[in-house]
């Protein structure tokens, strides 16, 4: 009941995010039910139905990742105090968040179940006759419905989302998310900051303003008299933002995946009937080649936070000005939060390149509606995850933005900071993603 009250009392942006999660869960539910419908319509093709069900794991993982991003975007700083006053222990807040994610996904699963009943004709007396042809056949119309199997498939997404959120948001040094600063403190940050040299403000907004001002003087004065007695800026390595781990492992995984693809494509030949069927009429691929592609893309995803951090370090090279310094430090601080969703976006681009190449080589029929639904669902979930992460970062940067505005920074400088962040991130991720996508897609037709 508390989860339902919190969901109904959320602000419009939070409601839109939860509706997006519900829509993603509905799409995943339809794909899972279509695999069950294929098994009902073709009992002799059990292996093909199992492969269809296996490929549903990709959109399922994308929807679960979106639900986790939405759970991270919830303002825990506003809820912890009220929930503590209500007698809820802090350790139970992640469980409440997991229940909220399960509720959103369950709403989508209910919608998918209602769509299944309508397409199979069970709701003909209420909603009219379903459309004849492909939609009804895809969901096993005219054959007995295994209710337990349908309910189990529909429960997969809410259960996976709840479990993922409960584990990822558990309290502790590694699991608890950082509190998001409230908007009222961000709005008052610039007005309470101190603009004098070497003076620390009493409020958090003043502290942010003083730090930004001192950093600016460090860059412009280079340790001179206007530096307030501080030492020269030691450089980009001593900003307090730790380098995210994963670059070495990501490069290693990518190299191993590409090597496995080349070896399997050139020097091995799978046994007849042992090739892996690909979704959407994309033909087949050798299992080792498909595993090598997945390994190469996983390495790219693992290395993306470190690449974003490297983009921030590149902005701070060669005596940066105010805009480059602020943009570089912002990227370094947000590398882990933004790098993971951007890694998923890079993986989706690699998947699009591989799909286009496979479809061009196979020259089979165009992808079916279910394959298009799965591709669109993955793309929407990944883009939604990126947008939610960017919105969370923007909310966390409000005190710094208010401090810069209070110091009289022109709006053009603040817009330039955003442009520098986008340009530096794209300048590193786009070439790396293009190289990995092209090299990983070349052996797939073997």
Of the three residues 126, 144, 172, the one that is the final residue of a domain is: 172
pLDDT tens for each residue of 89-142? 566 777 888 888 899 999 999 999 999 888 888 887 777 777 776 677 778 777
Q: How far is CA 95 from CA 57, 92, 165, in A?
A: 24, 5, 8
Of the three residues 155, 172, 189, the one that is the final residue of a domain is: 172
**pLDDT in the model for residue 38:** 87
* Residue 318: pLDDT band with limits 50, 70, 90: confident
**pLDDT in the model for residue 297:** 95
Q: Are 165 and 68 in contact (CB under 8 A)?
A: yes
Is the Cα dihedral 217, 220, 226, 229 positive or negative?
positive
Q: What percent of the chain has pLDDT over 70?
A: 75
- Mapping DSSP onto H, E and C, the string for 140-202 reads CCCCCCCHHHHHHHHHHHHHHHHHHHHHHCCCCCCCCCCCCCCHHHHHCHHHHCCCCCCCCCC
Lowest average pLDDT, out of 24-28, 180-184, 303-307, goes to 180-184
In a domain, 200, yes or no: no
Q: Are 64 and 160 in contact (CB under 8 A)?
A: yes
**pLDDT in the model for residue 234:** 41
Q: Are residues 143 and 242 in the same domain?
A: no
**pLDDT in the model for residue 66:** 94
**pLDDT in the model for residue 142:** 77
**pLDDT in the model for residue 28:** 96
Q: Are residues 246 and 154 in the same domain?
A: no
**pLDDT in the model for residue 183:** 40
Average pLDDT of the residues in 31-45: 88
Of the three residues 172, 187, 206, the one that is the final residue of a domain is: 172
Most confidently predicted of 151-160, 191-200, 206-215, 313-322: 151-160
- Does 376 or 9 have the greater pLDDT score? 376
Q: How many domains does the chain have?
A: 2
Average pLDDT of the residues in 325-342: 88
Phi-psi region of 240 (alpha: psi -120 to 50; beta: other; left: phi over 0): left
In a domain, 216, yes or no: no
pLDDT tens for each residue of 360-418? 876 666 777 888 899 999 999 999 999 999 888 887 777 877 777 777 777 777 788 88
In a domain, 75, yes or no: yes
Q: Are residues 286 and 420 in the same domain?
A: yes
The Cα–Cα gap between 8 and 24 comes to 19
In a domain, 417, yes or no: yes
**pLDDT in the model for residue 216:** 36
* Residue 186: pLDDT band with limits 50, 70, 90: very low
Q: Tell how many helices (H) and how many strands (E) occur in the chain.
A: 19, 2
pLDDT over 90 (residue 301): yes
**pLDDT in the model for residue 57:** 93
In a domain, 355, yes or no: yes
**pLDDT in the model for residue 2:** 56
* Residue 80: pLDDT band with limits 50, 70, 90: low
pLDDT over 50 (residue 274): yes
Half-sphere exposure of 233 (CA within 13 A, CB side): 23
In a domain, 179, yes or no: no
Q: Choose among 326, 155, 333: nearest CA to 241.
A: 333
The Cα–Cα gap between 94 and 172 comes to 11
Q: Are residues 305 and 395 in the same domain?
A: yes
In a domain, 202, yes or no: no
* Residue 82: pLDDT band with limits 50, 70, 90: low
Query: Which range marks the domain in which residue 77 is found?
Result: 2-172
In a domain, 92, yes or no: yes
Q: Tell me which residue has tokens 């610039």.
A: 190
Q: List CB contacts of 211: < 8 A, sequence separation 6 or more.
A: none
Q: Are residues 346 and 254 in the same domain?
A: yes
Q: List CB contacts of 401: < 8 A, sequence separation 6 or more.
A: 186, 414
Q: Are residues 146 and 40 in the same domain?
A: yes
Work out the mean pLDDT of the chain and round it to a whole number.
77
Report the chain's terminal Cα–Cα distance, integer Å. 55
- Does 235 or 269 have the greater pLDDT score? 269
For 236, which DSSP code?
G
The whole-angstrom distance between residue 385's C-alpha and the CA centroid of its chain comes to 4
């Amino acid at each position: 009941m508390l989860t339902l009250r919190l969901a109904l009392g959320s602000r419009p942006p939070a409601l839109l995010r939860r509706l997006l999660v519900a829509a993603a869960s509905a799409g995943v539910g339809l794909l899972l039910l279509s695999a069950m419908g294929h098994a009902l319509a073709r009992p002799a093709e059990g292996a093909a139905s199992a492969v269809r069900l296996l490929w549903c794991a990709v959109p399922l993982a994308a929807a679960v990742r979106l639900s986790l991003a939405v759970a991270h975007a919830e303002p825990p700083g506003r809820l912890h105090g009220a929930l503590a006053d209500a007698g809820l222990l802090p350790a139970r807040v992640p469980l409440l968040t997991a229940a909220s994610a399960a509720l959103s996904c369950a709403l989508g699963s209910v919608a998918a179940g209602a769509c299944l009943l309508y397409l199979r004709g069970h709701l003909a007396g209420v909603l009219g006759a379903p459309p004849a042809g492909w939609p009804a056949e895809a969901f096993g119309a005219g054959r007995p419905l295994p209710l337990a199997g349908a309910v189990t498939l529909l429960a997969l997404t809410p259960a996976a989302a709840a479990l993922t959120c409960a584990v990822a948001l558990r309290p502790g040094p590694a699991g608890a998310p950082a509190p998001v600063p409230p908007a009222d403190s961000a709005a008052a940050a610039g007005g309470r900051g101190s603009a004098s040299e070497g003076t620390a403000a009493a409020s958090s907004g003043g502290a942010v303003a003083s730090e930004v001002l001192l950093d600016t003087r460090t860059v412009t004065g280079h340790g001179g008299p206007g530096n307030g007695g501080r030492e020269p800026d030691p450089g980009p390595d001593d900003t307090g933002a730790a380098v995210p781990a994963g670059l070495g492992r990501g490069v290693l995984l990518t190299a191993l995946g590409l090597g496995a693809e080349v070896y399997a494509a050139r020097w091995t030949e799978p046994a007849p009937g042992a090739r892996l069927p690909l979704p959407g009429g994309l033909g087949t691929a050798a299992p080792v080649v498909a595993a090598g592609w997945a390994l190469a893309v996983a390495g790219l995803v693992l290395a993306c936070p470190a690449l974003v951090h490297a983009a921030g370090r590149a902005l701070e090279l060669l005596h940066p000005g105010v805009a480059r310094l602020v943009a570089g430090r912002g990227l370094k601080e947000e590398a882990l939060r933004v790098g993971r969703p951007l890694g998923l976006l890079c993986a989706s681009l690699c998947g699009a390149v591989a799909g286009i190449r496979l479809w061009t080589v196979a020259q089979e029929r165009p992808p079916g509606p279910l394959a298009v639904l799965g591709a669109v669902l993955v793309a929407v979930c990944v883009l939604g995850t990126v947008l939610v992460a960017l919105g969370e970062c923007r909310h966390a940067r409000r005190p710094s933005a208010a401090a810069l505005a209070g110091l009289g920074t022109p709006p053009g400088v603040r817009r330039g900071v955003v442009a520098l962040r986008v340009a530096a991130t794209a300048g590193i991720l786009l070439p790396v993603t293009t190289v990995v996508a092209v090299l990983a897609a070349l052996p797939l037709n073997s």
